[in-house]
Amino acid sequence: MNLLINCCFFSVFNVYGCFYNFENKLWISWGKYLLSESDGSNFVVFDGVQKSYDGEVLVVKDLNLNISKGEFVTMLGPSGSGKTTCLMMLAGFETATHGEIRLDGKPINNIPPHKRGIGMVFQNYALFPHMSVGENLSFPLEVRGLDKSQRELKVKNALDMVQMGEFIGRRPAQLSGGQQQRIALARSLVFEPELVLMDEPLGALDKQLREHMQYEIKHIHERLGVTVVYVTHDQSEALTMSDRVAVFEDGRIQQLATPADLYERPENAFVAQFIGENNRLKALITDVQNDLVTTKTADGTQFIAKRVNCGDVGSYTTLSIRPERVTVGVEGENTTKAKVLELIYLGDHIRCRMSVEKDNEFIVKVPNSSNHTHMEVGEETIVSWTSDDCRALDSGTL
């Protein structure tokens, strides 16, 4: 009877355009897909996956991705980059145009969403407003046929895990946004899935609560060892929570690496620019020596950089330098003139916008110390950085 009532409830919400998210959540909760044994390093596999909605334009292009059991992998990228489409194909709400998706060694392209045994958390929580917190968590267990005592124990454990046990009798409308997100997270985990998908679950929260929930989700993942595939466009969120991050652009993974590798060792200019702040200077390659290149800008200034992903002598490249790796007022391996255009006080550091090599958006993060607080707008100085902190990325024209 409860199942029939909730199906009718879905139909009512479908009239108002809310059926999609509610349906997604419950379809995932209804089934328990029996998985075959496989190598834990290939728990989730995208093998040559493509997706097109119109038969012409590919929104996902030849995706090859392996996710290990227990790993936290974030799909990060701007709007329209293909990350959410990949998540929806894994969940079963979109069908791959080409290629195969495997879960624990078994192809799932033709397996309906409700038989994949996957937990999912949405940005808008998708909680049943007519149910209490306890009933929201009990529902996916009830449709699986667990008896009352088993349901009560699992619900209690899930609520304790997110520190929401005292709210078991409340309705979602009586909870704050952060509390509702905790309940949505608990509901996705209450039936103990091996895989949980999260589609920008913290997007509706304020900055402080968002940061707090990042650590909460990270700690829960570490305790449970569940595999998590997370989608976001927030770079700091991805760096904070993930074991590995897949940076998407134009339907492709531009780089798949640990947070530290993405930030410290970007493989192309897009990744360098998308992950954190980054300074870019166009330059001509004039010499190549092993893993170092010598370059010259349009102003004739010479810079030495690590050769990462660039052409040979005579081609142009983009030099990438992180703002915190730039030193002000001191000569170094790479030195150039600069003019202070703007100073923004940010507590532990001063964000300084400078004009360097005709680039008026060169950013330097200056430590807030007595040595630097005397800088003024309009001041002319020098900036420097080492070749280890400068990467030559991409080939192109000036």
CB atoms closer than 10 angstroms to residue 19:
14
Residues 6+ apart with CB under 8 A from 217: 185, 198, 201, 228, 241
Average pLDDT over residues 372-396: 88
**pLDDT tens across 69-90, in order?**
999 999 999 999 999 999 999 9
User: Count of CB atoms within 10 A of residue 338's CB?
Assistant: 23
Phi, psi (5° rounding) for residue 113? -55, -40
Task: Say whether pLDDT at 123 is over 90.
Answer: no
Report how far residue 235's alpha carbon sits from residue 246's, in angstroms, rounded to the nearest whole number. Answer: 11
Tokens of 76: 């990060």
CA 210 from centroid of its chain's CA atoms: 14
- Kindly report the number of other CB atoms within 10 A of residue 60's CB atom: 26
- Residue with the bigger pLDDT between 25 and 382: it is 382
Whole-angstrom Cα distance, residue 243 to residue 312? Answer: 34
pLDDT of residue 181: 87
225 burial (CB, 10 Å; 0-12 / 13-18 / 19+) is: exposed
Q: Across residues 138-142, what is the average pLDDT?
A: 89
29 — pLDDT class (breaks 50, 70, 90) = very low
Using only C-alpha atoms, what is the Rg of the chain? 25
| Region of poorest pLDDT, from 43-52, 137-146, 163-172, 228-237 | 137-146
Q: Is the pLDDT of residue 9 over 80?
A: no
In the chain, % helix, strand, coil (3-state, to 5) comes to 30, 35, 35
For residue 209, the model assigns a pLDDT of 84
Domains of the chain from N-terminus onward: 20-264 (3.40.50.300), 280-396 (2.40.50.140)
Nearest to 188 by CA among 356, 386, 24, 8: 24
**Max CA pair span of the chain:** 78
Pairing type for strands 195-199 and 118-122 reads parallel
Instruction: Say how far apart CA 323 and CA 275 lie, in whole Å.
Output: 12
Q: Which of the pair, 95 or 372, is modelled with greater confidence?
A: 95
Rounded Cα distance, 228 and 71, in Å: 6
Q: In the structure, what pLDDT confidence band is assigned to residue 359 with cuts at 50, 70 and 90?
A: confident
Looking at the predicted structure, is the pLDDT value of residue 51 above 50? yes
Instruction: Give, to the nearest 10 degrees, the angle between helix 148-161 and helix 133-142.
Output: 130
Secondary structure element (H or E) that encloses residue 334, with its range: strand 334-345
Percent of the chain with pLDDT over 90: 64
Is the pLDDT assigned to residue 35 strictly greater than 70?
A: no
* pLDDT tens column, 283-298: 999 999 999 999 999 9
In this prediction, residue 4 carries a pLDDT of 41
Which 3 state secondary structure label does DSSP give 197?
strand
Position 58 pLDDT exceeds 90: yes
Q: pLDDT-based confidence at 14, cuts 50/70/90?
A: very low
Mean pLDDT over 200-216 rounds to 86
Q: Which of 279, 265, 217 is nearest to 74 (CA)?
A: 217
Residue 396's pLDDT is 64
Parallel, antiparallel or unpaired: strands 72-76 and 244-249: parallel
Total-model pTM: 0.83
**Structural element, H or E, at residue 220:** helix 207-224
